Amino acid sequence: MTHFNKEFWLDTAERAVKTAAQAAIGVLGTGAVGLLQIDWTNVLSVTLMAALISILTSIASAGGETVSPASLIKTTQTTGRHIQTLEEHSKENE
């Protein structure tokens, strides 16, 4: 069984988007400049680098016995109301 399934890539994409947004906010928040004075090339460069690092981190973390497929953190709770696989979620919403 491969660890790089649909659930892994959805989890990885979610993490990368969140990381990219945080990086962009960080870069935009460092200078008190107007919208037209922002160096958008720099913002995009930092944002894409943060997203790439997030994706590579998720790939490096794949394969563990965790609830989240792109995480190294193990949890003691593997069942419950808030823990379900993508397949279970899909079946519920059919």
Q: Which residue has the tokens 């993508």?
A: 86
- For 34-54, the pLDDT digits (tens) are 777 888 899 999 999 999 999
Q: Residue 56's pLDDT band (boundaries 50, 70, 90)?
A: very high
82, pLDDT greater than 60: no
> How distant, in Å, are the alpha carbons of 32, 40, 64, 81 from that of 36?
12, 9, 46, 47
The pLDDT tens digits of the residues spanning 9-41 come to: 888 999 999 999 999 999 888 766 677 788 889
The amino acid that residue 66 corresponds to is T
Alpha carbon separation from 4 to 9, 35, 46, 52, 84 (Å, rounded): 7, 40, 26, 17, 18
pLDDT at site 1:
45
Residue with tokens 């107007």: 34
